[in-house]
Amino acid sequence: MAKARVYVTRLLPAAGMDRILAETEAVVWEGEMPPPKEEILRQVASCEGLVCLLTDPIDAEVMDAAPHLKVIAQMAVGYDNIDIPAATERGIPVGNTPGVLTETTADMAWTLLMATARRVGDGQQYVRDGKWQTWGPMTLLGPDLYGATLGIVGMGRIGVAVARRAQGFNMRILYTNLFPVPEADLLGASQVEMDTLLAESDFISLHCALTPETTHLIGAAELRKMKPGALLINTSRGPVVDQDALTEALQAGVIAGAGLDVTDPEPIDPNHPLVHMENVIVLPHIASASIGTRNKMAELTADNLLAGLRGERLPNPVNPEVYERG
Q: What are the catalytic residues? A: 237, 266, 285
C-beta of 53: minimal distance to ligand DGY in Å? 9
CA distance linking residue 130 with residue 134, whole number of Å: 11
**Amino acid in position 288:** S
Q: How many CB atoms lie within 10 A of CB 63?
A: 20
C-beta of 113: minimal distance to ligand DGY in Å? 17
- For the chain, give the number of residues: 326
Which positions from 71 through 130 interact with ligand DGY, judged by CB under 6 A?
Answer: 76-78, 101
Which positions from 30 through 59 interact with ligand DGY, judged by CB under 6 A?
Answer: 54
Q: CA nearest 280: which of 95, 160, 116, 50?
A: 116
C-beta of 168: minimal distance to ligand DGY in Å? 24
Nearer to ligand DGY, 77 or 217 (CB): 77
C-beta of 11: minimal distance to ligand DGY in Å? 16
Size of the site for ligand DGY (CB under 6 A): 6
CB 280 within 8 A of CB 47: no
What are the residues facing 174 on neighbouring strands? 151, 190
C-beta of 39: minimal distance to ligand DGY in Å? 22
Nearer to ligand DGY, 74 or 230 (CB): 74
Burial status of residue 227 (CB atoms within 10 A of its CB: 0-12, 13-18, 19 or more): middle
Q: How many CB atoms lie within 10 A of CB 78?
A: 19
Nearer to ligand DGY, 54 or 204 (CB): 54
CA distance linking residue 245 with residue 308, whole number of Å: 42
Nearer to ligand DGY, 145 or 240 (CB): 240
Cα 174 to its chain centre, rounded Å, is: 21
Residues in contact with ligand DGY, shown as a per-residue x/- string from 266 to 295 under the rule CB under 6 A: ----------------------x-------
CB 246 within 8 A of CB 231: no
Nearer to ligand DGY, 7 or 79 (CB): 79
Q: State the residues that interact with ligand DGY by CB under 6 A.
A: 54, 76-78, 101, 288
